[in-house]
Amino acid sequence: MQGGTVFYFVTDGIEAALKQAMEAAAGKDVRIGGGVSTIRQYLSARLIDELHLSIVPTFLGDGEHLFANLNLPALGYECVERVEGNRATHVTVARSTR
């Protein structure tokens, strides 16, 4: 892509994808892109260190629910920051190091 962005499609599962991304990042941060299903898989496997959410109150109807049937505290996650703005609330969820 213009600017040097490269996408790799990995079909070996989330652990293999993360391993390849971390090797390519050479010590830099890795960001996971994808839909609700992708993020839920990484949360369930405790492979996300930090999750940044921008919450905007909008009624969208049906769809996938990000946290449905996920017990984030039991998985070791907690809300570490919440910043309220005029149009959105920004929340950071992090995996506990305990």
Mean pLDDT across 11-22: 93
Residue 20 CA: distances (Å) to CA of 35, 37, 71, 97: 19, 20, 28, 24
pLDDT in tens, 17-40: 999 999 988 999 998 888 899 999
Which token pair is 94? 């992090």
**pLDDT for residue 5 is more than 90:** no
Domain edges within the chain: 14-95
Better-predicted residue by pLDDT, 8 or 89: 89
Is the pTM here over 0.75, yes or no? yes
- The pLDDT-based confidence of 98 (bands split at 50, 70, 90) is low
Could you list the beta-strand ranges (E) of 1-98. Answer: 50-55, 77-84, 89-95
Of the candidate ranges 32-41, 55-64, 67-76, the one whose mean pLDDT is the lowest: 55-64
CATH architecture of residue range(s) 14-95: 3-Layer(aba) Sandwich (3.40)
Give, in degrees to the nearest 5, the angle at Cα 97 between 93 and 98.
120
